[in-house]
Chains A and B, each alone.
Chain A
């Protein structure tokens, strides 16, 4: 950062729109799973905005937003309602969007983020429920050259949560971390796929800068059109620099909306709005309000799984490193596999956790990488993998043989025990058995022996390797080393 940039503080608040994974839409029974569907095939009079139809609230969507609120440490409003947000745009079939204005279902929560070892809580102002809009495709008439739009109503009326943060974020890196943690929580609780590239997790940002020490906020600019975590990060870095540059040049920041352009790597003014929006919110007359009882909230709370932050804490308490704990807890299925693996091993919990972590981040990760797969496609049951881990940990087979058995298990589905017995892979630790092989290696490699006597310690490693090759990795390396050194010193 330049000297000038460090005189300024960046202030960021994020608005995330996240699609819920319900079967049906928010206010009608059309299927909400429209990906890959032909345009306008998940459509009925309600989501088309036909006159005289009545919306009915999807109970699952309300449960999911309450679950989200609980996961984000929000308080759940005992009384909330829906409101109409009025504006004209072709993606809005009714001429208004059903949303929530002054009484959102969730408010006053927080999410913990960690950047460069510093942990901070980012406040969550509110989480409210609304309906998504139709999708527009913009085209140009090949004959007349006139631009026009095509409308696909499938997405219209699918349940959408808006998650609004406090202006607590202080850097682009922290903004990205917040989004990563938020997406992780949403996936953990299973309410959304939260896939930014697929459009079910969208982010707008408000950003301003002020001189360090100032208590008043600077004029904020809203940034839209960021379609990846990277775009959010880059747009915020760019915009902070731009605003500081304007102020340093003696200029003023204009309150406006700017769009991020991946192509130009810049935020560009969207100065098309001459009039400020006037949404004329009013209570939705077609929907009675929600009175969510404490019993309802507790029923939803029972669905709340252990969240990633808690898992990381617990794994660390078992003696795992910060990296190991975070990697294992990153995705819920991965954490679940790890925990089943720990449960399937024997011994004290710290030992089991360490062994399981080593294998998960070692051989299992290697297999997943090579196969471009997530843990749900890993072919071994935790109990089967535990069988192998115990064989290696007890010294029944060497680590080298363990890796080979792992590959065979994954390929054939056979148990570790069966493979080891059938192929005679048990570790050879017997001095009598190994002594002959050691003498043979010494006799066959006079140069290595000469090197050893010339003071080259690494020659022993070479000779151990020869014995290993002879035994297909089964020899106990420690015993071999002891025998070699004894023989060579004779």
Chain B
């Protein structure tokens, strides 16, 4: 399944990755190859098979609504490149 250049640019944008022209072509070929690989699954007859939501045979894994201690704030902010007044500080991002 051959991806187009636009497909690759769209995927790169969603992942917030900047690609140069050579990379676009390289990933176009690689991603197309991966999709082709998975095309093998299309040969399986899935008639009457329920879609799988989760690979483990588990359901209803829940916890009681009880409050546990949170982290001390200096630990919360320890990895932040920038913090201010107890907040994380980031460049303004407009949607």
Contacts and interface: CB of A to CB of B under 8 A. Distances in A.
Interface in B49-95: 53-56, 58-71, 73, 76-77, 84-95
Interface string A255-299: 000000000000000001101001010010101111110000000
Interface string A60-93: 1110000000000000000001000010111000
B62 A59 contact: yes
Contacts of A56: 61-63
A278 B10 contact: yes
Contact of A59 (B54, B63, B71): B63
A42 interface: yes
Give the residue among B66, B71, B91 with the most A Cβ atoms within 10 A.
Answer: B71
Nearest to B93: A90
B14 interface: yes
Interface stretch (A22-30, A112-120, A337-345, A474-482): A22-30
Contacts of A23: 65-67
Contact of B14 (A42, A86, A290): A86
Nearest to B52: A283
Interface string A37-65: 01111111100100000001111111000
Contacts of A290: 59-60
Interface residues of B, number: 37
A426 B76 CA distance: 70
Contacts of A43: 70-71, 73, 76
Given A56-B62, A59-B62, A24 B68 contact: yes
Contact of B92 (A149, A152, A275): A149
B44 to A, nearest CB: 19
B91 A148 contact: yes
A249 interface: no
A88 B16 contact: yes
A288 B60 contact: yes
Contacts of B60: 288, 290-292
Given A30-B68, A150-B88, A151-B90, A283 B73 contact: no
Given A24-B65, A43-B71, A153 B92 contact: no
B5 interface: no
A272 to B, nearest CB: 6
A116 B77 CA distance: 54
The secondary-structure label for the interface of chain B is loop
Interface string A144-160: 00111111110000000
A443 interface: no
Give the residue among B62, B65, B89 with the most A Cβ atoms within 10 A.
Answer: B65
A31 interface: yes
B86 A153 contact: no
Give the residue among B16, B68, B77, B88 with the most A Cβ atoms within 10 A.
Answer: B88
A272 B94 contact: yes
B26 interface: no
B67 A39 contact: no
A4 interface: no
A137 interface: yes
A152 B58 contact: no
A138 interface: yes
Contact of B91 (A28, A61, A149, A273): A149
Contacts of A283: 53-54
Contacts of A272: 94-95
A106 B85 CA distance: 41
A80 to B, nearest CB: 9
A442 to B, nearest CB: 74
Contacts of B56: 288
A292 B70 CA distance: 30
B65 A40 contact: no
A103 B51 CA distance: 12
Contacts of B85: 39, 150
Contact of B66 (A29, A44, A151): A29
Given A24-B65, A24-B68, A62-B62, A153 B88 contact: yes
Given A86-B14, A278-B10, A289 B87 contact: no
A86 B84 CA distance: 27
A29 B62 contact: no
A44 B75 CA distance: 9
Contacts of A81: 53-54
Contacts of A31: 67, 70
A60 B64 CA distance: 7
Contacts of B66: 23-24, 29
A44 B65 contact: no
Nearest to A32: B67
Interface string B33-47: 000000000000000
Given A43-B70, A48-B76, A138-B92, A22 B65 contact: yes
6 contacts: A30-B68, A38-B73, A148-B89, A148-B91, A149-B92, A291-B60
Given A39-B85, A148-B91, 5 more contacts: A22-B65, A24-B66, A29-B69, A149-B92, A275-B13
Interface of B: 10, 13-14, 16, 53-56, 58-71, 73, 76-77, 84-95
A-B pairs, top 8 by smallest CB distance, nearest first, are: A29-B68, A60-B65, A150-B87, A147-B92, A288-B58, A59-B62, A151-B88, A291-B59
